[in-house]
Structure 1
Amino acid sequence: MGADRRTGAGPTATARSAGRAPSPDAARTASLAAHALAWAELLRLPALFTVPGDALAGAAATAPAPNARTLLAIGSSLCLYEAGMALNDWSDREEDAVERPHRPLPSARIHPAAAFSAACALTGAGLALAARAGRPALTVAAPLAATVWAYDLGLKRTPVGPAAMAAARGLDLLLGAAATTGHPRRALPSAALLATHTLAVTAVSRRETTGGSPLTPLAALATTGVLTHLLTRRLSPGTALRSTLGAAYALTAARPYAHAALNPSPPLTQRAVGSGVRATIPLQAALAAHSGARSTAVLVATLAPLGRRFARTVSIT
């Protein structure tokens, strides 16, 4: 083929340009993309899809449908969750330098001060959004934020770490109920189930870099079975959605837990933790369906494939 008369492009010109350095614009674009990917890793972007279902399940326990204040609760939950992610890596930066040198902070792709500043800003934004949703929402969001910071700055290294993380998830669900109707006590049973699941996942995660005893994933497997039973018992005609979502929850979490129990190696333990985190979404959807909010349950369930899609690019743990 001949050269384009307007540009002079052709085989020879192409060959000459093949060895050229990238243009400044291309280099800038590549740098921005790499920086964005580093922040996506720091904030565990796929795990973000497990957050809206907390507030929506809480709202479902107290009202027929979510309202504008529920959206504020979701925004608050997202901010506080991501604050915890940034603070977690800031707190673990020395440990990660040994065990996970590829993480954004030890690999110097994000400065520790930037991660800490992000945690502070996101916490402030989360509390501000909760305040906009009303005093009951702020009353729940304040201890939620305190629990997140206490966990990341010290509790996670103590025996009460899993309980603290479980409390944070339970409070996050209650935040949705408090914002929607101002009556979070009605959502206590749903919060207890979600907190129990989180307790099991967090207990397994404490060994994801070293492996360990098969007892912890075995206990998590048993917990999944109990929660599935509680979600699906006393089914009546017309409750097929709840049954389906309960089964989805069990299938997502149970098999990886079983594999980790049979071989508690770091790779299988990490896989079990990732599956446990992803199982949070069908659990939230099942809780909404259990409360009779079918539309909310379907909405929450649609977040699961989105989380799986992003998990192919960025690790969920």
Structure 2
Amino acid sequence: MTSRAFAELVRLPAALTVPGDTLAGAAAAGPLRARSFAMPAASVALYWAGMALNDWADRDLDAVERPERPIPSGRVSPRQALGVAAGLTAAGVGLAALVGGRPAAATAAALAGTVWAYDTVLKDTAAGPVAMAAARGLDVLLGASASGRTRAGLVPAALLAAHTAGVTLLSRGEVHGTRPLTAGIAGGVTVATAAAAAGHGRAALPVALAATYATSVGTAQLAAVSSPDAGTVRRATGAGIRGMIPLQAALVARRSPLAALGLLAAGPIAKAASKVVSPT
């Protein structure tokens, strides 16, 4: 397996949208500490595992609809993809246990189970967007669990889960297009999530970051309402994936403005990298 094939298999640029999950959870639980910045490594490993497993599970469908992907193109074998998924899952749970002890290990195990259930069973069912949203919410809780205050992360977990549900619902039209109503629902979720992330408007940075999120994601989703073709939906999905970064930053900014600005810097990098390796 070449490095390029691996990067495509795990959707390498999209991994930049993941560290902010655990940081948002950690920020909700208390001051950011050294372990807060170590937990994202476990989160990224589990995310990559899910991407590899996704391609393994979809290998027959991708052979028809997306033959350029690593498995149908012959650059990665199904066995290799499954091995990558299993190895990264074990690494993610192990890292979580090392950094955050039993609470983090339990949360990571629940997250891993949700990811595997989504990719292998639930993806094409009505429960698909819910399962994907649950996975993102659990990723946020993973950050809070490192301090032993998992429940403190429930609010940011709910917001990122809502955003993920909207993006996942819309992404189902990446190949054949979608309905204007579906794109409109995703846009409505974005507006509501941005309003909640901004809070009561008492701090300028969270409000500005929430507005950045709403503008970048909402504009693309509005375009999908007007033109719900596959190409527009793919662009809106990509914007939704990258849009997680300013949303995460808005949630982190209440505790650590510096960390929030650091997260925001990942946005342009993810956008540039997405031109080389697709995040979807």
Q: Give the TM bin, normalised by the shorter chain.
A: over 0.9
Structure 2 regions of 5+ residues with no counterpart?
none
Say which of 145, 152, 162 aligns to 2:112: 145
The TM-score normalised by the length of structure 1 is: 0.86
Is structure 2 residue 245 aligned with structure 1 residue 315?
A: no
- State the match for 1:66 in structure 2: 33
On the 8 A contact 1:72/1:132 being kept in 2, the answer is no
TM-score normalised over the length of structure 2: 0.97
What is the rounded CA distance, in whole Å, between the counterparts of 2:14 and 2:75 in structure 1? 21
In 1, the alpha carbon distance for the partners of 2:242 and 2:267 equals: 7
Q: Is the 8 A contact 1:60 1:66 kept in 2?
A: no
What stretches of structure 1 of length at least 5 have no aligned partner? 1-31
- Give 2:57's match in structure 1, choosing from 75, 91, 107: 91
Note the 1:30-179 alignment, pairs <5 A: 35-67=2-34, 69-133=35-99, 134-179=101-146
Q: SS in structure 1 opposite 2:191?
A: helix
Structure 1 vs Structure 2: percent identity of aligned residues?
A: 48
Q: 1:60·1:296 contact (CA, 8 Å) conserved in 2?
A: no
Aligned equivalents of 2:155, 2:33: Cα separation in 1: 18
> Is residue 284 of structure 1 aligned with residue 251 of structure 2?
no
1: CA distance between counterparts of 2:107 and 2:199? 30
Pair member with larger Rg? 1
Q: Is the CA contact (8 Å cut-off) linking 2:170 and 2:178 kept in structure 1? A: no
Are 1:271 and 2:238 counterparts?
no
Aligned length in residues:
279
CA distance in 1, matches of 2:37, 2:200: 32
Q: CA deviation at 1:301?
A: 1.1
Cα distance in 2 between the residues matched to 1:233 and 1:80: 30
Per-residue deviation, residues 14-72 of structure 1 (Å, max 9, x unmatched): xxxxxxxxxxxxxxxxxx8xx221211111111010010011111111122232x2234
| AA of the residue aligned to 1:49 | L
Equivalent-residue separation in structure 1 for 2:33 and 2:176 (angstroms): 42
Q: Is the 8 A contact 2:137 2:158 kept in 1?
A: yes
* Equivalent residue for 2:188, pick from 222, 239, 243: 222
Could you say which residue in structure 2 is the equivalent of 1:300?
A: 263
Flag as ranges the 4+ runs of structure 1 deviating above 2 A: 69-72
User: Is the CA contact (8 Å cut-off) linking 2:159 and 2:197 kept in structure 1?
Assistant: no
